[in-house]
Amino acid sequence: MNQLIISAATEGEAAQNPLVPNVWEMGVVLVGFAVLMYIVVKFVVPMFEKTFAERAEAIEGGIAKAEAAQAEASAALEEYKQQLTDARAEANRIREEARAEGAQILADLKAKAAAESARITEQAHAAIESERQAAVVSLRSEVGTLATTLAGRIVGEALTDDQRAARVVDRFLADLETQSAGAAK
């Protein structure tokens, strides 16, 4: 009996051996695994692929946008540098034109001042000459009057005759001029 119990126990154990898989359980697990794999491959993987593609496209688009923005910024910087160089050249040209114009204005003003100075000097010389002539005429008449008065006192008779007085005065002045010309030599 013991043997029977042992042999019955060994037969039940063989049927219940945990190391030997049950065929039905394996079939159910394999069918479940196949259904799960089908769902993952058919629905989940395409969604992952789509999301991955969208992210890759967004990253590549962002990189392209960044490169385009960088190129645009570089172009704007070059344009700014060119404009700055052009503005500096224009400022230098304007400065040089202003200097040249200032020098021209200064030369014109100097020429006008020299001409004005010459005109004023000429007018002064003319005024001095006319005043000298007026002084000579005035002195001749005063000297003539004084000479005729003095000659009349010396001679003892009045020299009232105008023609005679004019001759006496002219002769007196001619003598004076010859004396002053001889003294100047």
pTM: 0.38
What is the reported pLDDT for 55? 94
Residue 139 pLDDT: 78
Are 168 and 148 within 8 A, CB to CB?
yes
Rg (CA), the chain: 68
Q: What is the pLDDT of residue 99?
A: 93
Predicted local confidence at residue 91, as pLDDT: 94
Q: What is the pLDDT of residue 12?
A: 53
Mean pLDDT by 10 residues, the chain (185 residues): 54 66 90 96 94 93 89 93 94 94 93 92 91 82 74 65 71 80 73
Q: What's the confidence (pLDDT) of residue 156? A: 60
Q: What is the pLDDT of residue 103?
A: 93
HSE-up (13 A, CA, CB side) for residue 9: 6
Q: What is the pLDDT of residue 6?
A: 57
93: burial class by Cβ within 10 Å (0-12, 13-18, 19+)?
exposed
Distance (Å, rounded) from C-alpha 167 to C-alpha 144? 10
CB atoms within 10 A of CB 152: 15
What are the residue ranges spanned by the domains of the chain? 46-184
